[in-house]
Structure 1
Amino acid sequence: MSKIQIKFLNDNTNNKKNSNFLPEYATSGSSALDLKASISKKILLHATEVILVPTGISIYIENPYITALILPRSGLGHKNGIVLGNLVGLIDSDYQGELMISLWNRSKKEFYIYPNDRVAQIVFVPIIRPVFSVVQEFKKTDRHTSGFGHSGV
């Protein structure tokens, strides 16, 4: 089990119980932890607009063989068209700034983000840091240089 350091950063996270903003697994089988909007009042997200929503937390992973990925919440994306503006957020092990969520309303309807709304999710994954070996030729495989769609539909 890796320990990830976390800090609560702003009035929204520090004036309430910090446990409200501690990322949580929704179920015992969840792979990712929910991230909440650390805002003091609702925000209107217009159709096709992209905004940055603070989480009020920062993390320090420290271990260079672990990274965090910020992913959209499937229900928000499917039901409301709210996805991440950068599609996937990558948090490097040495980043210590606030986790900010780029939210994109890809729908044609306005959408409100309320204080403490679960707006994204974060998953921690192992990293493989390869050492490159420069070669003149590869051993040819059956696929060799066949590109996208080479195997058909």
Structure 2
Amino acid sequence: MHSSEPVPVMVKRLAHFGDLDLPGYATDGAAGMDVLAAEDVDLAPGARHAVATGLALAIPPGFEIQVRPRSGLALKHGITVPNTPGTIDSDYRGELKVILINHGATDFAVRRGDRIAQLVLAPVVRASWLKVDELDETLRGEGGFGSTGGFVAPFGGG
């Protein structure tokens, strides 16, 4: 059972989209929709490319679409989305492209129709700044990077 009704998102199929499938959920419990490549790209180790999807979107105001990596590509091949999660804003109308990077040791071939990323529709809450002279105290205080602890080796190892 889903917690809410689906939110309609207008999608325009560009000329190079052809007969590809629209992004879709692989299972009933999936949070993200798989999106497909609309082009062939060979990624050398360390290389990045904005992979075309052949889609343009009109995301409703108050929402964004987050672009996230596919865990199987990351684990098996070192292929990921470097700006994870990537954000597609509601006022963007250009082609949706997925930035992929190859962190693997060998070339990776992206082929038209391959599932390359997941798209998650998410609500956006906008902030407003409230200028103050002092902030409230917390236990952490001004402790920054790594201040809440680090890696603890299991079984007392160092």
CA distance in 1 between partners of 2:123 and 2:83 (Å): 21
The letter for the 2-side match of 1:31 is: A
Give the structure-1-normalised TM-score: 0.86
For the pair 1:79 / 2:76, whether they are aligned, the reply is yes
CA distance in 1 between partners of 2:59 and 2:68 (Å): 17
The letter for the 2-side match of 1:35 is: V
- Are the equivalent residues in 1 in contact too, given 2:10–2:59 (CA < 8 A)? yes
For the pair 1:9 / 2:6, whether they are aligned, the reply is no
Structure 1: gaps spanning 5 or more residues: none
Q: Secondary structure at the match of 1:119?
A: strand
| Length, aligned pairs only | 145
Q: Secondary structure at the match of 2:120?
A: strand
Which residue does the alignment assign to 1:28?
28
Give the structure-2-normalised TM-score: 0.84
The within-5 A match list for 1:93-104 is: 93-104=90-101
**Compared CA separation, residues 138 and 31, structure 1 to 2 (3 A):** same
Structure 2: gaps spanning 5 or more residues: 1-5, 151-158
The within-5 A match list for 1:1-153 is: 1-11=6-16, 13-14=17-18, 16=19, 20-39=20-39, 42-63=40-61, 65-153=62-150
**Compared CA separation, residues 145 and 98, structure 1 to 2 (3 A):** same
Identity percentage of aligned residues: 35
The letter for the 1-side match of 2:42 is: L
CA distance in 2 between partners of 1:98 and 1:133 (Å): 36
Q: CA RMSD of the aligned region, Å?
A: 1.6
